Each structure stands twice: as C-alpha cells, then as structure tokens.
Amino acid sequence: MEKICIGMLGFGTVGTGVAKLLIENKEVISRRVGAEIVLKRIADIDIESKRDVELEDGILVNDADIILDDPEIAIVLEMIGGETIAKELMLKALKNGKHVVTANKALLAGHGTELYAAAAAGNAEIAFEASVGGCMPIIKTIRESLVGDSVRSMKGILNGTCNYILSKITDEGIDFSVALEQATKSGYAEADPTLDINGHDTAHKLAVIAALAFGVQVDFDDLYIEGITLITPLDIEYAGQFGYRIKLLAVAEHVGDNRIQARVHPTMVPFDNILSNVNGSLNAITINAVAVDDITLFGKGAGMMPTGAAVVGDIVDLARNIMHEASGRVPMLSFQQEHIENATVVPMDELESLYYIRFTAPDKPGILAKIAGVLGKYNISIESVTQKGRETTDFVPIVMLTHTAKEADVKKALEEIAKIDKSAPKPVLIRIDS
C-alpha cells in the first residue's frame, strides 16, 4: 500500500488530538484513503512533557527543519499558532512544495494573500477546515457543496468561549467578570482570553469564510468588531422579555457590486431563530444561499479532538489528491485564483438594523420626551419603550426597541442625547437580528 508521510510542527493540545487520531484510527483511515498515512515526525521545542499519546522513538524532534527538509514528508501540519514563527515555517514548507494543514485563523486572516501566493508558487495547497468552527465542515460546505449556488449571507456563533460566557450570564444572572472567571476555571477560556472576548478571534474566522463565500479578498482592518465585555445580566434579562437571546454573532452579507457587510458584535437573536438555542461552548453557523435557503451547521467549535478531527479530514483530502496527482482540485479560496475579486466592506454607518437601546436617564419629568424628540429628529422610530426598576436613586433605566434605523443616525442621536444630562451613564446599544 502506498505510504504518505506527515510532519507536524507544534505538539500542543490540537497537535496531540491529531496524533491520537492518526495513530488510533490508522487502520480505518487507510481503509478509506487506500494509502497508509504515516505520522513520521513531530517537532516541538518541548520534547520532554508527557502528552496523552504514545509515540514511537524518534518521532518527536526539536528541530522543525528535520521536517521541512525531509523529501519524504508530503504534508506539514502547522499546529503552532500565532503569527510569527508559524508563518515563517509555513512559508518554508510551501516553498519546499509541501502541502500545509493549519487551524491558524489569525495567520490566514492577517497574511492570507501572502500565504496563498506562496502555496501557488510552491505548487502546494493550504488546507484550513480546522481554522473555523472546529469539527463543523464550514469550509467544505462553502467550497464544495454550495458551489453551484450563490451565498447571500452567513451568521455564526464562532467562539465557544464567548458563547459559554454569555450562556452563563443568561442562565445564572451573574456579571461578565464572574462568568469569565468561571469559564477560565472550567477550561472554557484560555489564560489570556483577550482575543476571544474582544471579538477578534470571531472576526478572524469571519474574514476566512467571507473570502470563500463571496470569492473576494477581505481586508481584516475593515471589519467592524465589538466584543462581549460590556454585556450585563440586565440587558440579557430585558432581551429575554422581548423574546431575544444575546449572542456574539459574526455576520457577513453580500450586498451587491462587490460590496459586503462583515461585522462582529453582540446581537439579540429571536427565540425562534435556531442560533438563539445554541448554548454553552457550542458553535453554529447559518449560511443563506439563493437556491438552498438556510443551511445550519452546529457542533463543537474547538477542543483537542473536534479540531483534531478537522485537521485529519484535511490530511485525508490532501492525501487523496496526492494519490490521484490531483493537487489543486478544489481551489483553496473556492474560486480559481484569477477570479478572486476585491471587495469593499460597507462602512458600519450604512448598516440598517433594529436596535435595543438602554438609557440610564435622570429620574426627572420630561426626560423621556426629550429622548424621544431627539430620536424622532434623526428618523428613528420607536417600537416600544419600557421603564422599570431603578438603578440608583437618581437614575432610571429606559429601554427602547427601534424600528429599522440607520446606524449613522443612531450614533448621531445618541451623541445628542448624551448632552441632555452629562452625568448620565453611556447608553447601551445592542443590534437586533431580524
């Protein structure tokens, strides 16, 4: 039986999962591929720590070049993460004609153009199913299943840490900081959760899939990104009363003429939208396309074994190409390289949405009329107003849901309302998915 050799760079959590699967399921994988997939070398600076997998002697090395310079190794797994050494090693692997499998969305979102060009130059492929949504076949679905259709929009819950924290606040009425602490303790948040809770990890993933779905290049800096750190139990409670759950959604939408919306922010999702029922650390994505309407995928978006399984799926895809000398069979970016277009990300000011706005207003007569007057001036029409409870003796919460309004108008109105009483706290604004 033909043998295809793999070298892995980085032996952390996901790397361990990949090694386990390749070793434990070796026989079933070869029954499927018709070739033996051999994990020949793993390189890591730490070759001492005990991992939860048994390796034969000589597999673990501390020099990446042993892998990158080995002509027998056809596929390199970049399981290091980050944007520095990972990028350098990936470029060398591609230059040496080795295919690369990665789960590194930050690297792809920030340096994709350079990396894809290096792959083309080296006659190699980059496979990255594991970079978005863990085990869910998002990349494959966009790139292979929806290939005869036109994607209109995608809405996803793509960060398990945020979804876990928001679910905790929702279920237990605790504050963000307490929920984050619990998430860290139970292993649902990393020691440094910054990239998760500020929405950047979600945005990296959005950039990767928006490029595929629309056949465009997306400049990561054009994305609107808002994290979950300011979400309070109070807003979640109000959301529930109005029939919504708050989720950190990644939204991309094709709005014509190579213009796309691409944004990440807390969003109120109606109870009857399946995404509002995705709780805990689960991920989900709904892809809306012209012919198929909505397809939703959900499952575990992270973790040693789910992400490991996605990496192995990519290895098998590449191995099947190698067996049939069919590399490049599915274009990495869904479209043939020469057909990738530039897209403009629509400025957030042009967004039209329903809004939830919670004012903390001085408890004085006439204040509601003043707020409503400013909103009216900017053509923001109010669907409902609720006023209950009391935050302090001097202020009352006023919760408004708007009809469809323009983001720019809402921003201007809030600036003007801020001048009514400069001692009042900043209002909370959450966009509503409709």
Which residues are the active-site residues? 205
For residue 410, give both structure tokens. Answer: 């809402």
In the complex, the smallest distance separating the C-beta of residue 202 from its own copies, rounded to whole angstroms, is 20
Residues 6+ apart with CB under 8 A from 46: 11
In the complex, the smallest distance separating the C-beta of residue 47 from its own copies, rounded to whole angstroms, is 25
280 close to 168: Cβ distance less than 8 angstroms: no
Alpha-carbon gap, residue 109 to 203, rounded angstroms: 8
In the complex, the smallest distance separating the C-beta of residue 127 from its own copies, rounded to whole angstroms, is 12
245 close to 268: Cβ distance less than 8 angstroms: yes
In the complex, the smallest distance separating the C-beta of residue 317 from its own copies, rounded to whole angstroms, is 7
Work out the angle between the directed axes of helices 13-24 and 304-323 (0-180°, nearest 10). 60
For residue 183, give both structure tokens. Answer: 């998430």
**At 139, phi and psi to the nearest 5?**
-60, -50
Alpha-carbon gap, residue 305 to 312, rounded angstroms: 10
In the complex, the smallest distance separating the C-beta of residue 31 from its own copies, rounded to whole angstroms, is 4
In the complex, the smallest distance separating the C-beta of residue 300 from its own copies, rounded to whole angstroms, is 5
Query: SS3 for the chain, per residue?
Result: CCEEEEEEECCCHHHHHHHHHHHHCHHHHHHHHCCEEEEEEEECCCCCCCCCCCCCCCCEECCHHHHHCCCCEEEEEECCCCCCHHHHHHHHHHHCCCEEEECCHHHHHHHHHHHHHHHHHCCCCEECHHHCCCCCCHHHHHHHHCCCCCEEEEEEECCHHHHHHHHHHHHHCCCHHHHHHHHHHCCCCCCCCHHHHCCHHHHHHHHHHHHHHHCEECCHHHCEECCCCCCCHHHHHHHHHCCEEEEEEEEEEECCCCEEEEEEEEEEEECCCHHHHCCCCEEEEEEEECCCEEEEEEEECCCHHHHHHHHHHHHHHHHHHHHCCCCCCCCCCCCCHHHCEECEECCHHHCEEEEEEEEEEECCCCHHHHHHHHHHHCCCCEEEEEECCCCCCCEEEEEEEECCEEHHHHHHHHHHHHCCCCCCCCCEEEEECC
Q: Which is nearer to its own copies, 335 or 378 (CB)?
A: 335
Q: Which is nearer to its own copies, 324 or 388 (CB)?
A: 324
In the complex, the smallest distance separating the C-beta of residue 406 from its own copies, rounded to whole angstroms, is 31
Q: Which residues bind its own copies (CB under 8 A)?
A: 17, 21-22, 25, 28-29, 31-34, 129, 134-137, 140-141, 144-150, 215, 274, 277, 289-300, 305-306, 308-310, 312-313, 315-317, 320-321, 323-326, 328-331, 334-336, 339
In the complex, the smallest distance separating the C-beta of residue 11 from its own copies, rounded to whole angstroms, is 18
